[in-house]
Copies of this chain bind each other. A is one copy, B any other.
């Protein structure tokens, strides 16, 4: 992964830029000692300069913007509430992001990561910072033909719990985008060990849940489906919300519904969806082919705004 080019911290006196290579949290910060904090990631795209009516001499304005920043800030706020971390408000985050965007030196797209930790275990305020990183090479740029996305090979790995494990168990932090992602990264290493690119997590009662860093989208009998949040513990995905809404607006049936793992192989198509990389079709699951329909791939990319 490329190195972050811009880091901005929310200091007591307001947002300030920080040397991207300099350390940012102390040895006893709970975000580091316990993975006790939350984050969110969003896509940063160039502002379309065409069609504006600015005059010479006007402030050129920002060169980049975050796709659905309010949606990501709302999800981050929900994560912070679940963790009971007193979080900066939306205006403070927005100013922090603007500070980072003004320093972004690249013409292309970037990934914005917003991080909030509980702060030092010895006491002290939560730590809030954002990073901007070039999007990894090979990822589809927004507006590029989605059909150039190579389908990925995925493996199924058990998440170890039934699909209703998170009902009435808020301490399990279902749906919270915490910094405690070691299992997610271990699952991705297991996938590579098996010669695959990614993972679809499964419940002990046989359902497909989500992926380590992406949500799951399934089109089956024409209906556009994604895993319910809540009792399953999976994260709400801002991108999947957008896809379901756009599919519904085109007259598709679109809903949250659990899908059995076995039914993935006979679906119309299966996608992993993350806002920082767009919808990626799954072409192979545990070594068996999953249908990839170019027309449907283009539909899903369009629904996602890619």
Across the two chains, which residue of chain B brings its CB closest to A32?
B32
The answer to whether A108 has its CB under 8 Å from any CB of chain B is no
Q: How far is the CA of A183 from the CA of B179 in the complex (A)?
A: 11
From known contacts A122-B2, A165-B161, A190-B171, infer whether A182 and B179 are also in contact, taking CB-CB under 8 Å. yes
Q: Which of B23, B131, B190 contacts A23 (CB 8 A)?
A: B23
- Chain A 120-175 interface residues, beta-carbon cutoff 8 Å to B: 120-123, 129, 131, 133, 157-162, 165-166, 169-173
- Tell me which of A34-42, A271-279, A281-289, A296-304 binds B: A34-42
- Chain A 224-247 interface residues, beta-carbon cutoff 8 Å to B: 233
The answer to whether A77 has its CB under 8 Å from any CB of chain B is no
The answer to whether A33 has its CB under 8 Å from any CB of chain B is yes
Q: A-side interface residues toward B, CB under 8 Å?
A: 1-4, 7, 18, 20-37, 39, 83-84, 113, 115, 117, 120-123, 129, 131, 133, 157-162, 165-166, 169-173, 176, 178-187, 189-190, 204, 233
Q: How far is the CA of A36 from the CA of B178 in the complex (A)?
A: 12
Q: How far is the CA of A7 from the CA of B189 in the complex (A)?
A: 31
Q: A24-B26, A162-B204 are in contact. List 14 more A-B contacts (CB 8 A).
A: A23-B26, A24-B25, A27-B129, A32-B32, A33-B39, A35-B178, A35-B179, A158-B169, A160-B161, A171-B186, A172-B186, A173-B183, A179-B180, A179-B182
A204 contacts B165, C-beta separation under 8 Å: yes
A-B contact pairs, 16 of them (CB 8 A): A3-B123, A20-B27, A22-B26, A23-B25, A24-B27, A29-B32, A32-B179, A33-B113, A33-B115, A34-B184, A83-B182, A84-B189, A160-B165, A161-B204, A171-B190, A179-B182
Kindly list chain B residues whose C-beta atoms are within 8 Å of the C-beta of A184: 34
